Amino acid sequence: MITNILKDRSSKLFIFITAFFVANALIAECIGGKIFSFEKLIGVHPLNFTIFGQSGMAFNLTCGVLLWPLEFIITDIVNEFYGPKAVRAISYIAVGLISYAFLMFYIAIHVPGADFWFTSGKESDIPNMQDAFSGIFGQGMWIIVGSLMAFLVSQFVDVYIFHRIKKITGDKWVWLRSTGSTVVSQLVDSFVVLFIAFKIGKGWSWQLVLAICIVNYIYKFSMAVLLTPVIYLIEKLMTNYLGEAVAHKMKLSAMGKANEV
C-alpha cells in the first residue's frame, strides 16, 4: 500500500505540499514575534499616516506576514487540483501540529534550566538566556488562540469563495478565483487575529484594532495581487509533472465532476 502511494505522482505531490504547508505555517508563527518596518525595508521613511483617528500609523508588520501569502497560494493550488476536502485536511493537520509545537515551547520554557545556561549568553551581550528564550518562544495565549482561529476561519472562507467563483468560471480565469478568494480571506484573517488577540485579550480600542487591521490588509492585498503569476507558474509545473490528462481529471474531481470527460 505504501509502495503504491509513493509511486503515484499525485499522492507524492500531495504529501510534499502538505509538508511544506505545515512547515511554512509553523515558521511563520515562530518568527511572528518580530515586528519590522516595511518602509525601512524598501528604503523610505515611515509615512506616519492617520487611520480611524489613530495618528502616527506606519507599515510596521510582523515577520510572519512574509510567509502567510504562500499559505493562501498553496490553499488555492490544493483547491484547484485536490478539492475543498483536501484543503480542510491540510488545515486541520497544520493547526494540530502548530498547537503541538506551542505546547512543546511552553514545556521547554518552564523546565528548569541549568545554572550555567542562564548566564552563558553574557559573552554575546545577552543578560539572561532564559528571558531571551521565553521572549522568542513564549507568545501570549490570546495571540496563539487568535492566530489559530484566524488561520482556520480564513482557510474555510478562501475555500468557499474559490469554489463559488470556479463554478461560474470553470477552468478559465484562475487569477480571478485565486486573487478574489485570497483578498477576502486575508481580510478575515487580519481582523480575526487582531480581534481575539488584542481586542479581547488586551482590551485595545476598536479604532486601534481596525487601524492596524487595515495596515496589515493593505500589505496582504498587495502581495495577493503581485503573487498571482506564481499561481500560474505552480499550476504549469504541477501539470507538467502529473501529465495533462491526470491534471485535468484531478481538476474535474476537485469540482465534483469526476464523471465528465
153/163 Cα distance (integer angstroms): 16
For residue 10, give the 3-state DSSP assignment: helix
For residue 131, what pLDDT is reported? 82
For residue 1, what pLDDT is reported? 55
For residue 145, what pLDDT is reported? 83
Residue 209 lies in a domain: yes
For residue 13, what pLDDT is reported? 92
For residue 35, which of 250, 215, 252 has the smallest C-alpha distance? 215
Number of domains in the chain: 1
- With beta carbons less than 8 A apart as the criterion, state whether 25 and 98 touch: yes
For residue 45, give the 3-state DSSP assignment: coil
For residue 180, which of 167, 193, 196, 195 has the smallest C-alpha distance? 167
- Position 86 pLDDT exceeds 80: yes
Residue 86 lies in a domain: yes
What are the residues whose beta carbons fall under 8 Å from the beta carbon of 133, sequence distance 6 or more?
108, 109
For residue 92, what pLDDT is reported? 93
Q: What is the sign, positive or negative, of the torsion defined by CA atoms of 17, 67, 137, 200?
A: negative
- With beta carbons less than 8 A apart as the criterion, state whether 238 and 79 touch: no
Domain that holds residue 204: 2-254
Task: Tell me the percentage of the chain whose pLDDT exceeds 70.
Answer: 90
Residue 261 lies in a domain: no
Confidence of residue 121 (pLDDT cuts 50, 70, 90): low
Residue 112 lies in a domain: yes
Residue 260 lies in a domain: no
For residue 172, give the 3-state DSSP assignment: coil
For residue 261, what pLDDT is reported? 36
Task: Tell me the percentage of the chain whose pLDDT exceeds 90.
Answer: 17
- Position 214 pLDDT exceeds 90: no
Query: What are phi and psi for residue 50, nearest 5 degrees?
Result: -120, 130
For residue 124, what pLDDT is reported? 67
- Residues 151-171 have a mean pLDDT of 82
For residue 22, what pLDDT is reported? 94
